[in-house]
Chains A and B, each alone.
Chain A
Amino acid sequence: MTAFLTIEDYRLDIPTFDGDLKVLDGITLSLEKGETLGIVGESGCGKTVLARSILGIGPARGKRMSGRMVFDSIELDELDESEWRRIRGVKISMIFQDPMTYLNPLFTIGRQLADVVVAHGRAKAERTPSRDEQRRRCDALLEQVQIRDSARVFDSYPHQLSGGMRQRVLIAMALAGEPQLLIADEPTTALDVTIQAQILELLRDLVSRLGLTVVMISHDVGAIAAIARRVAVMYAGVVVEQGRTEDILTRPRHPYTQGLLAALPEIEGERHVLEAIPGTIPNLIHPPSGCRFHPRCPRATDICSVEKPVARSIGADHVVACHHALA
């Protein structure tokens, strides 16, 4: 099977007054059609920058230093704005973290949703749908995300809806163009726990029903496990380990992955002290030499500060970038 989305040695710098922020350092990922990939990592590890770069809405001043992104044989880095409009929302779509700030506060839900419908119509070179047609399509979209009183929601402003409702609306917007690839950037992080479960359930249902390919980003390992069949673990702009979800969760091979999982509280089993990874995420203007994790790594040796570890296969669909991968 050929890859649907390929990211090859992708490096991105963001110039700042203090120097270049080396946000993404040689990201290599690939995704097959219909696959669900989760990306986990702490805040600030570059997950969101990576996700947005796939849609060409990364940081405005970001500079691509190397690598490429290919989606369905389209070189994403070579698209201009007008070509992007035939991709965004139509082929690749995105849902976001905080549904309050990602909806425009001054326009009704209906207006925003209808605008998306019209924009996609234009991108697909269809005629502009009539008002009634727009309304019908919006209602269908809202129904698809299990909003029952679509009439009320249609005329509401974002602040009049609950967080869960707003996230459903954003999902409806993302699905309006019938995309093939859905990027979900922390879709449940800003929600109440009970609502998180509902939204995850809804996403899981939509993904299987619509046959979507998904990249889901989260620092919530549980949310990732609920959706993703494969997982990539990111640390400070580097993918340190990737493989099948059950392999990563049960047999992590990278010291960082192990630390991340050990830091999760467990409900079952005996009580034990939660283990935190010592130290903090490094400054990305002057990232650590060699392996970016070495200053915090319990297994670090001399080589770790000198040589950047190459990602190597250590089992069926299991890749790790570490000089001292755990057995």
Chain B
Amino acid sequence: MLSLTLRKIAVLIGTMIGLAALTFLITNVAPGDPARLVAGPDATNDMVETIRVEYGLDRPLIEQFGIYMGDLLTGDLGRSIVSTRPVIDDLARYVPATLELVLVAMLLGVLIGVPFGMLSAVYRDKTLDQVTRILSISGVALPAFWFGILLQLFFAVRLEWLPVSGQLPLTSIAPEPITHLILVDSLLRGDFETFREALSHIILPAVVLSFPCLASILRVNRAEMIEVLQSDHIIAARAHGISAARIVTVYALKNALLPTLAMIGLRFGWMLGSTVLVETVFDWPGIGLYAVSSSLASDFKPVIGVTLVIGFLFMLTNTFVDLAYAWIDPRLRSAQ
């Protein structure tokens, strides 16, 4: 298991370098002169050339790449034009909010998707299965921005149960950071009022973000459960007198969990991408909103920074998924 972990980490580093190279390539292949973009529409040619030299854009591409990679290693992602702060500082501010949102959404997706997928398989074609089928089809089909606005209208504007947007009310102060996740920090600090506020703010965006993910986890888990429940070893377990409840929740579920895990890994990356939409609708101060406002301002360093962070988180998740696979399935552990 240790050697597998080390190998997976090596792969992770390799893929990360590949991603960095790819982002570099895209920015240099994309049409438009970056120096002119930075200089602005009114700049003279001299000003553009000055900026070109200042940013090192006049050097050979391979040298620029070397500098770019070196900067990445030292955490230097450049400076945002809009906020004038280093991109890395902006990211440190915005990433935790996105992470918090995505983790809560994923938690919802797994905690609801897995058990209901299991139940839908057991009560196949019964009422429960039909209800979850309709819900999951709409989950995959509904566009996030539209569904988000719908929920805002109903729960925030009409019923006034939940706040419309934001991460905390303007009057509240985020707790002294420990993990930088407001829900966790407020609990750790014993600040239950802030916890309640943060929770009420996160519910709607988390539901919107998790809905498609929940739907696909549910469907995959259901399909896998149905297949596993027909497999030989389940028939044998029944023949040996193991109770139906134990067969479903222990013997079959563990087998069905493997493909479900793969789906969870995929959906995690998808969710990180969707934060762009959901954070915009809910004015959630995360990297999605940061990426949108930066790209609207043609501020490209932050966009590249966000791309790298999302890519890194996605790869990290998939590394975890791979390790979880090996942890669940002994055949993968010994097949090294």
Q: A residues within 8 Å of B by Cβ?
A: 52, 55, 57, 60, 81, 85, 87-90, 93-94, 96, 98, 101-107, 112, 115-116, 119-120, 122-123, 157, 159-160, 170, 173-174, 176-177
Q: Given A107-B251, A159-B331, A160-B334, check contact A52 B240 (CB 8 Å).
A: no
Q: A90 to B241, Cβ gap below 8 A?
A: yes
Q: B232 to A96, Cβ gap below 8 A?
A: yes
Q: B242 to A115, Cβ gap below 8 A?
A: yes
Size category of the binding interface on chain B? 20 to 34
Q: A103 to B233, Cβ gap below 8 A?
A: yes
Q: A89 to B331, Cβ gap below 8 A?
A: no
Q: Measured between alpha carbons, how far is A58 from B330 in the docked complex, in Å?
A: 30
Of B233, B238, B239, the most chain A CB neighbours within 10 A belong to B239
Q: Measured between alpha carbons, how far is A157 from B239 in the docked complex, in Å?
A: 20
Q: Given A102-B235, A107-B251, check contact A116 B240 (CB 8 Å).
A: yes
Q: B236 to A103, Cβ gap below 8 A?
A: yes
Q: Given A88-B239, A93-B239, A159-B334, check contact A102 B232 (CB 8 Å).
A: yes
Q: Measured between alpha carbons, how far is A173 from B237 in the docked complex, in Å?
A: 10
Q: B residues within 8 Å of A by Cβ?
A: 230-244, 246, 251, 254-255, 328-331, 334
Q: A176 to B231, Cβ gap below 8 A?
A: no
Q: Which residues of B contact A96 (CB under 8 A)?
A: 232, 235-236, 239
Q: A55 to B232, Cβ gap below 8 A?
A: no
Q: Which residues of B contact A157 (CB under 8 A)?
A: 330-331, 334
Of A57, A87, A88, A115, the most chain B CB neighbours within 10 A belong to A115
28 residue pairs of the A-B complex, CB under 8 angstroms, read A52-B235, A52-B239, A55-B238, A55-B239, A81-B244, A85-B241, A85-B243, A88-B241, A89-B239, A94-B239, A96-B232, A96-B239, A98-B232, A101-B231, A103-B233, A103-B236, A104-B234, A104-B251, A105-B329, A106-B328, A115-B242, A119-B240, A119-B241, A123-B241, A160-B334, A173-B240, A174-B239, A177-B240
Contact of A104 among B233, B239, B241, B328 (CB under 8 A): B233
Kindly provide the distance from the CB of A115 to the nearest chain B CB, expressed in whole angstroms.
6
Q: Measured between alpha carbons, how far is A112 from B255 in the docked complex, in Å?
A: 14
Contact of B330 among A52, A93, A106, A123 (CB under 8 A): A106
The 3 lowest CB-CB distance pairs between A and B, nearest first, are A89-B241, A101-B232, A88-B241
Q: Measured between alpha carbons, how far is A174 from B240 in the docked complex, in Å?
A: 6
Q: A57 to B241, Cβ gap below 8 A?
A: no
- Name the residue on B nearest A94 (C-beta): B239
Contact of A88 among B231, B232, B238, B334 (CB under 8 A): B238
Q: B240 to A106, Cβ gap below 8 A?
A: no
Q: A105 to B233, Cβ gap below 8 A?
A: yes
- Name the residue on A nearest B252 (C-beta): A104
- Name the residue on A nearest B238 (C-beta): A57
Q: B330 to A89, Cβ gap below 8 A?
A: no
Kindly provide the distance from the CB of B285 to the nearest chain A CB, expressed in whole angstroms.
42
